[in-house]
Chain A
Amino acid sequence: MLKSKTFPSLVGILLLLALLPFGVSGYILGLLTLGYYTAVFAMSWDLLFGFAGEVNFGPSFLIGVGAYTAGLLNHYYTWPIWACVISGGAMSIIAGLLLAVPALRLKGPYFGLVTLVAVLMLQNFIVLFAGITGGEIGLDLPDVLAVDDGSNYWIALAFMGVSGLILFGLSRSAVGLILQASGQDAVQAGALGFNVTKHKLAAFCISALFSGLSGAMLIFYEGTVSVGTVVDIAVGVQVIIAAVLGGRRTILGAALGAVFLIGMGEMLRPLGEASTFVVSAIALVTIMFVPGGFLGALLHGEKR
């Protein structure tokens, strides 16, 4: 199991990563920036799946709500970025609650299905009100986080670092313990006096908050908000694959998987259309033969 040395070593890794802009090309920094935002998506998803035991097939619903809220506020009302991002996170929580309060009553594939439907609804909604939302093409944003690669990279790294430490800390806290008990055996957790629904709902809100914040940050990095980057089912699929690949129930593994996935996709770009095929194949082979994911395999190896 992860030891108490984990926190200091995590901070150490983050500091090392912060030095990268002094020696690495802007191209790679751009990739990592994208990877870091995806990492927050994946970690948020893992909190919900790995700990609360709920399979959310629609992480991009929460991401999309946050991103579009921020995007619309900036595009039409030119709110400052920080206000847009915070509003995005808040809106994600509200949307998440609207979705989760009735959906958590459902079991098995039905919860997953409802979350999936939520994404499709959001997507249709955006297309339907194309006059306001920009439809398939998306909206340009007047503001961006920063113009140079280094600053963008540092902002993303800091955001991932803070989010990651909070999510990881939460997963290792007393609340995380209760959450895990609720996810694993709701009957037993109830008999121990824990209100399972309350804890799962809280997990959903936290997951929504970080997904929404990260979605909002991402669009201000890219300068546009569009269905293809923050709402599409494919975005959600990538998040899930990242978390499973990196190792479920570890939070940190999800971040690892996300960066790996983004990097891999880029490295295979010369293959053209075949690159997605190769990435999917790698992911499939990994879940079939190393179901614990990268971090799971690492920790398991350590124990033996």
Chain B
Amino acid sequence: MKNLLEVTGLTKRFGGLVAVKDMHLTIQGGEILGLIGPNGSGKSTVMKLIMGIERPNAGSVKIDGEEVAGLASHQIARKGVGIVFQHSRPLHRQTVLENIKLALLPDSLLQLFAAAHVEERAHEIARRVHLDHVVNRLPGTLPFADLRRLELARAIARNPKVVLVDEPFAGLTAPEVADFSNLIASFREEGHAVLLVDHNVKGVANLSDRILAMYLGEFITEGSAEDVMRNETVRRVYLGGAIGHAARPEAPEMRDELLRVENVSVFYGKAQALEDVSLHVGRGEFVSVVGLNGAGKTTLFNAISSLVPSTGVVSFDGADLDGKTAGQIARGGIVQCPESRELFGEMSVRENLDLGGHHLPTEEAHQRLEWLLDLFPILKTRAGQDARTLSGGEQQMLTIARALMMKPRLLILDEPTLGLAPVILEQLSKALETLRQTTDITVLLGEQNVTFALPHADRVYVLEHGRFVWEGPPDRFATEAGAQFL
């Protein structure tokens, strides 16, 4: 079998940041390669570089032996590369069938009417991806999985030699995952080369012939799913070491309840991101919500903070939060450190912290600042620097410190470990431990990195496809729910 896709020495810099460094990979016809790496590892950039959406600074991309690096996206598409985006954006005023037909059209200004076979072919493809019963509906009325099917249909329509699929199963239910796996496997049977991009091995293990792991823009290892999971670096990146939980003082028996979430649901358009979720957090408790990317952790936190509209009841310290603005909730004591950090990049570390203490009396803000600079000494040395010039780990600490300036009664941490090197994780972990021991703070942590989430936790929830599937103490996690996390 010959290599349909051959990437060597691929490098991409954004300003000073090296997003992809000397990457190499090959895929043969009739083969599926899984490309994995945690968020920010550069895997999406690799995909965009192959597709020509971004132009590489160096390196070669060969499609069926032909060099395409540096060509425009539409030229690369015509050389035989197709992409299935994670978020589909179909034409909203056209029917599903017309959306598929679009992908079948030639890039011509003169062809005013689609060729006769196009209609027939579009129906054929719709049948293949099981959209035949909705071909005349508008995309806006379709459930999430059907939108993904439509995205897949458009890739099939181009009949590309190489298919790139971004997070193939994000947001899908188990039966849908099985269905999609079959569809993707059919690409392989037809002799296409397929690249699956995902966060972790588990997502793509069953389907992939080989798996390639990357981290911080670089190649780590390649091989079978088992080989990759056994790799030392991969284990460190994902697990930070062996799964375990630190010995903690026994939690007091009776805690009064600080946060109560009851039957909360969130819809994004037609797609349900959170389904009837209930959770409670006691005063002084450390609760971890564990779930893979796209499971709904961020949505849950945003619902609590009133950053997205939701149904159900959220009450804090006995008071219903319904009708309160996000600002009121934050001032009321629920402070969030979002995954995206939301720092003020062009302002200094000190200014970022000062804004966190804006609502406190000057004297108190000052004391708090002193205390926080002791807790995160690195921020003291960086006080005058612009936030955007900090490293990822430093930015994360600044995010947490800025949130702590607000004197939160409940601190929500969303994926604090995202894209951080293992050594930084240890520092972060220590800071959290200090915080736990020296203050009476209540923490709600969302994580996909189980080894970071467990040691601190009093209680753990497991979130999957917008629903809680497990709840319990951390020591029972490994035996009851841990198997699926890697």
Contact = CB atoms under 8 A, between A and B. Distances in A.
Interface of A: 1, 169-170, 173-175, 177-178, 180-181, 184-185, 187-196, 198-199, 202, 249
A202 B111 CA distance: 13
Contacts of B98: 177
Contacts of B158: 192-193
Give the 6 A-B CB pairs with smallest separation, nearest first: A190-B73, A193-B77, A173-B112, A190-B74, A195-B74, A174-B114
A191 B95 contact: no
B85 to A, nearest CB: 7
B74 A174 contact: no
Nearest to B138: A1
Contacts of B109: 175, 198-199, 202
A177 B91 contact: yes
Contact of A177 (B73, B77, B94, B138): B94
B82 A191 contact: yes
A187 B102 contact: no
B72 interface: yes
Contacts of A173: 112-113
Contacts, number: 74
Contacts of B111: 174-175
Contacts of B91: 177, 180-181, 184
B164 to A, nearest CB: 9
Classify the interface of chain A: helix, strand, loop or mixed.
Answer: helix
B261 interface: no
Interface residues of B, number: 31
A249 B91 CA distance: 12
8 contacts: A174-B114, A178-B107, A180-B94, A181-B102, A184-B89, A191-B82, A193-B74, A193-B107
A177 B104 CA distance: 11
Nearest to B154: A192
A174 B113 contact: yes
Nearest to B78: A193
A188 B101 contact: no
Given A177-B102, A178-B107, A187-B73, A170 B112 contact: yes
A272 to B, nearest CB: 41
B33 interface: no
B74 A196 contact: yes
Contacts of B103: 192
Contacts of A181: 91, 102
B92 to A, nearest CB: 8
B105 interface: yes
A189 to B, nearest CB: 8
Contacts of A199: 109
